[in-house]
Amino acid sequence: MPSTGFVHANQELVCDGVPLSEIADREGTPLYVYSASEIRSRFHAIDHAFGGYPHALHYALKANSTFAVAKLLRTLGSAADANSVWEIELARRAGFAVSDIVFTGVGKSSAELECAVPLGLKAINVESAGELARVEAIAERLGRPARVAVRVNPDIDARSHPHISTGLKINKFGVAVETARELFGSIRARPFLTLVAIHVHIGSQVTSLAPLRGAARFVAGLTEELQRNGLPLEYVDVGGGLGIPYDGSDIVSPGEYVSALVEEVRPTGLPIVCEPGRSIVGPAAVLVARVIDRKPRNALSEFVVIDAGMTELLRPALYNAFHRIEPLRSRPGAAREYEIVGPVCESSDVVGRDRTLPAVEVGDLVAIRDTGAYGSAMASNYNRRPLPPEVMVDAGHWRVIRRRQTLDDMLSLET
Ligand code: LLP
């Protein structure tokens, strides 16, 4: 059976049997390449780990909402977590039913709520007393109750990068537990609000089990408290956040994560909703780039300038994030130390700091690994750089799922 995903074969990196160099030679660089089989197997790994326990995976579109990726997840049976009305509309066009979409996010504008409330989504996950009142006012005008979940901030440290930790009191997300209790108390007497769940999400790229388990225990405990008080809920929303091993280290596995969720939530007797993004698509893509220059850096190392940088992949510049980088084909000879940098006019545009790689020459192709999540989704046109094309490889065939943007595409918005 041929190996799936990104593997080495005949001294080069291939994706589901297709050499990445073949795609790069045809489509040019920089270029995102996705493995459909990897997305499938990652979705199924989490889905199947629940065994018979009732659950719904609401894929977090913010991680990657390229249309073909969203459609693939839909065909696998995923539901969706949307963070804006544009993600909601994209999800609907990709085939997600409104009853399979939760609307999350800390700043939903009035215009967004006016669009979202009439849709009858599975839930609007509200983040404040004010937002709950705004949803209620729209529902009252429509004469139909809105389905809401309240996001509670559990004050749990996700032990991830501070920019992507959301579960501490100092973070802007959710409401404090005391506020939540007041809201739950008032909701009974508010006919245009139907409370369907409590929601938590403590952060992203969480690599240890304890905080994830702690968040599940917290939300399950609060749910049981409401059940005892005679407020029936429909499910428990534990958020997303499961990390991936960017540097190959040993971290919590999907199986361990799901077992902990089930153990903590089972006493409620309710289904689990979870919102994974990165753990499904992160390892399912590489960003392919070409070496455009080399120059001395210090006695030990060289700068290698590649044609992808913070415009295509913001994570290293924004979070000092680590992504493995490797040549598509290794040259013989001793490995060297390199500072791998992008072409953008910012000193923070470093894609790989102090890396030891096999020797590279101008014109060589490199792969930046594990870039399926928050890669293309966070790309920008800074320096008027066009958004890169995206290719999906499936069962030995590949196709362009988004063409490279042109200057005309950009200028078509301008007068
Ligand atoms: N649910 C909620 C409410 C979220 O805010 C997020 C991510 C998720 C689910 C999905 O989390 P995941 O399973 O992907 O960890 N740009 C950052 C990540 C930001 C995450 C934002 N929220 C990065 O590149 O690391």
Tell me 175's DSSP state.
Answer: B
Q: For residue 119, how far is its CA from the centre of ligand 1 (angstroms)?
A: 24
Whether residue 276 has pLDDT greater than 70? yes
- C-alpha to C-alpha distance for 142 and 342, rounded to whole angstroms: 51
Q: Could you read off the pLDDT of 74-121 as tens digits, one per residue?
A: 999 999 999 999 999 999 999 999 999 999 999 999 999 999 999 999
Q: Which atom of ligand 1 is nearest to the CA of 282?
A: 14
- Residues 15, 115, 274, 345: which is the catalytic one? 345
Q: For residue 278, how far is its CA from the centre of ligand 1 (angstroms)?
A: 7
Q: What is the predicted pLDDT for the residue at 3?
A: 62
Q: Could you read off the pLDDT of 159-202 as tens digits, one per residue?
A: 888 777 777 887 888 899 999 999 999 999 999 999 999 999 99
Q: What is the predicted pLDDT for the residue at 395?
A: 94
Mutate to test the pocket of ligand 1, among 62, 87, 368 (most ligand atoms within 8 A of CB): 62
pTM over 0.85: yes
The protein residue with its alpha carbon nearest to ligand 1, atom 22, reads 204
Burial-class residue 324 by CB neighbours within 10 Å (0-12, 13-18, 19+): middle
Pocket of ligand 1 (CB under 6 A): 60, 62-63, 81, 104, 164, 201, 204-205, 239-242, 275-279, 315, 319, 373-374
The protein residue with its alpha carbon nearest to ligand 1, atom 6, reads 240
Q: Could you read off the pLDDT of 288-335 as tens digits, one per residue?
A: 999 999 999 999 999 999 999 999 999 999 999 999 999 999 899 899
Q: For residue 397, how far is its CA from the centre of ligand 1 (angstroms)?
A: 30
Q: Which atom of ligand 1 is nearest to the CA of 279?
A: 13
Q: For residue 1, how far is its CA from the centre of ligand 1 (angstroms)?
A: 34
Q: What is the predicted pLDDT for the residue at 169?
A: 80
When the pLDDT of each residue in the chain is averaged and rounded to a whole number, the result is 96
pLDDT > 70: percent of the chain? 99
Contacts 24+ apart (CB under 8 A), 296-302: 297/339, 300/337, 301/336, 301/337, 301/338, 301/339, 301/354, 302/336, 302/337, 302/338, 302/339
Q: Which atom of ligand 1 is nearest to the CA of 161?
A: 25
The protein residue with its alpha carbon nearest to ligand 1, atom 23, reads 374
- How far, in Å, are 6, 341, 350 from residue 354 at the CA level? 24, 10, 10
359, 336 Cβ separation under 8 angstroms: yes
Whether residue 1 has pLDDT greater than 50? no
Q: Could you read off the pLDDT of 38-55 as tens digits, one per residue?
A: 999 999 999 999 999 999
Q: For residue 48, how far is its CA from the centre of ligand 1 (angstroms)?
A: 22
pLDDT > 90: percent of the chain? 93
Whether residue 69 has pLDDT greater than 90? yes
| Confidence bin at 342 (pLDDT 50/70/90) | very high
Q: For residue 415, how far is its CA from the centre of ligand 1 (angstroms)?
A: 35
| Confidence bin at 399 (pLDDT 50/70/90) | very high
> Cβ of 391: how many Cβ atoms within 10 Å?
24
Q: Which atom of ligand 1 is nearest to the CA of 199?
A: 3
345 is catalytic: yes
| Of 1-5, 349-353, 357-361, 394-398, minimum mean pLDDT range | 1-5
Q: Which atom of ligand 1 is nearest to the CA of 166?
A: 5
Q: Could you read off the pLDDT of 233-251 as tens digits, one per residue?
A: 999 999 999 999 999 999 9
Mutate to test the pocket of ligand 1, among 204, 208, 318 (most ligand atoms within 8 A of CB): 204
Q: For residue 166, how far is its CA from the centre of ligand 1 (angstroms)?
A: 9
Q: Which atom of ligand 1 is nearest to the CA of 315?
A: 24
- C-alpha to C-alpha distance for 63 and 261, rounded to whole angstroms: 22
